[in-house]
Chain A
Amino acid sequence: MISVLSSVIQTVLVILAAPLTVGLIRKIKARLQNRQGASVFQPYWALLSLWRKQMTITKYSSWVFHAVPFVVFATSTILALCIPALGTGSWTAQQGNLFLLATALAVGSMFLVLGGMDVASTFGGMGASREMTLAALIEPAVIITFTTLGTLANTWNFDGILHAASQTPWLTSHPFFLLTILSFICVLLAENARYPVDNPATHLELTMVHEAMILEYSGPYLAILEAASAIKLTVLGLLLMNLIFPFFLTITSPLGALASLAGFSIKLLLAAALIAGIETVFVKMRFYRMQEYMTVAYFLGLAGLILSIAF
């Protein structure tokens, strides 16, 4: 019972905090670029006003177009349910097999792509083609990183993995775990359409992947899609921070719960700072050089996995 309650609370917390992550990233990025930047709570207002607006939908689209926002939101929610944010011991996180979650990521990008193709516009098709290519090519890196986590923890769900990590922080016990972390950062940036894979801020057709696919969405559907991508970003960012700093992950006692809540806020801030930092330092890569990025991500993960088996 406690475990079910714990997973519900964690998921709701992540969903509520997700727009804040986006706001934090934008704020930090603006400050690093000597700009004032909008309030960190701006994404909430944006979502709210989108939700109230009327939708315009192209006459060429079919039922698939209407199904896309819900499926994409659902896959993000599944990630939020199955990857613990606050602490270990939640019921849904114990059910979520690693490879099942990898397919949840794939289903999410697949439906975004279908939404992009269902509008009879070149922009949608362009983004769709690029997104699907990226999703296909990042797959080996995803599987290899997940396998490393599973092998190190000897368990195949994220609850067990974070539990094992919190016993002995892997970065100190296995220094080569850093390679896996780097590979995971590459995966995170690619999956969330951030620099250097995609530019989340523009609608320029040279750079856009994610934005091109959701170009025809408006009003409530757009709000759902934006929220979904914010949730995915938050979940993966928090997972990264929890792997680097596996502290404050027990929420059984009231004190522990408070500590983990504080840890949650700090980790969220750190994740946002890391992504904002990467986006300030790196430039967007040419799309046709993406295979180099994917290869680097894969070989980092491969090295991490082989070392974790050998030692």
Chain B
Amino acid sequence: MTKTRLTIITALVLTMVFVALALGRNAAERLAERDQRTRPVWEVTLEANGTFLYADDWITTVRPPAFRQQHIFNERFISKQLIHRKCKPRIPGRNKIIWRAPELAGGPLRFQARCTFCCVLSCQPTPAMNRSTAEIDAETLPGIYWTTFRNTAANREIAAMGLKLVPSERPAIERVKVFYDYVSKLGSHPPAAQGDSSAEKKRGREPSPYAVDTTVARASGAVSCLRQGWGDSRAKSRLLVALCRSQGIPARLVMGLELTEGQELVQPHYWMEAWVEGQWLPMCTTNAYFGKDELPANYLILQLGDFKIVRGSSMDPEYSFRVRRPLRGLLMSGQEAFQPGQGDNPSSILERFWQKVTLSNLEPAEQDLTRFLLLFPLGALIVSIFRTLIGLQTFGTFAPALLGMAFLDLKALPWGLFIFLLTILVGWGMRHFVDRYHLLLVPRISVVYTSIILFLIVMIVVTSNYGIPTTKYLRLFPLVILTHLVERFWTIEVEDGPVASFKTLLGTIVVAVTVCLALSPLAVKNWMFRYPETIFLILAAQLLLGRYTGYRLAELYRFGDLLEVHGRQKGTT
């Protein structure tokens, strides 16, 4: 009894820890929320539309770096037609997503890809943000990317202009300022007469109302800007970058968005940074901001360097940016987790503490992993409930939970189950076949394992020929646990008969499906991510289950005969 009491006390303590942490987090969040009125959360969506013509077509889309004081979280990449992959940036500050078609089912493929993320500008940097800031804003040495300046005829024109503006003996900061002043004075729009002959009109094509027509790229180059004497924000920033680089000053183009309230559809905005006196000096020639202090807080950086926002292998897709403030209700429903510290003065120790232990401070990739990992305890709890309260027999202890998490989402559940059953049956047949050879345990399991993998590969190849991408429905990797299940299935069949083994298989499927159903709602994932302390609550529940001595549901029927006989005997005596 003392052991039971100890368990109950521990469970109570864990529950209290959970309550305390959750309340503390809530309180700190409320504090932070007050700040949010002045330092808002933005939700930005980049949508790309286009058509793939060839099977190996791809597009890349920009992905904002989380660095300096801009915090990025809740990134989502959604496309019905394409699958995406995150790339490690080769050039610091140029993160991107590659989208490919899973298969080309004949003919061109129209696609829509959407990248959505939330961001907070000018917040207290998290350790992860500091790391990437250190990388992106590292010291620039001559010869690296940001200094590249090709010696072509057009570029010589720019270099000559640079020399004409200011002699190269002057200190870098002074020269940059002169260039900046020069470019700032250039017009942003063509004189009225020139407007008719702009590139878009020449091609006889109505530009779509919101898409950025990429065919004008050449017209917004540095040289044409210099010659024409006017240019948009990109052309002017490019000219300034070129001027700096022609004089040996490293410079880079910056692409981003100006986030303003009440404006949904935004055009990308360009400015630039020059490496002066050991740091990157930002300048916006369009809106005339010079230096860090003048640059407003609503400039979101999407990309550093002169790269396309959306690039395709064989075509340039149309794209658009949409910006909105997520509704407050959405924030509260766990759509996003607690924000890292806002502004310069985290108001209290409590708040500072929570900034440290908030999962959304992690790098986006780590956030994904954490989200996934946090689901495991819940899965384990569900298995414990099935085993101790209901008395369902399953293969292995946590194999059903893993299996449930292998099914990607509800829509794919029937398909995933079908693949699972098929694989089990194939493995089982293989096991029977292998039994003849009287192999030792580990080599025998390896044989079954290899044949399951072989089967899976054959299935992937066959189904993809019919245009069904299997990987869409199932995380194939956890299916490796199937080997274990096959072995258990076989053992039970040999020892207790096929009825028992199929019953156990059914039990396994029931648990797996329940786990899948229980863990798939977004609300569950968000809750766990927002309140990771829920793990303490789960732990408490598991502890209590560990000392549960009541009957299992199945036992009420197992001992059914006992009840009847006893009733009969009672009647007769």
A binds B: no
Using a CB–CB cutoff of 8 Å, the interface residues on chain A facing chain B are: none
Instruction: Show the binding face of B for A, using Cβ within 8 Å.
Output: none
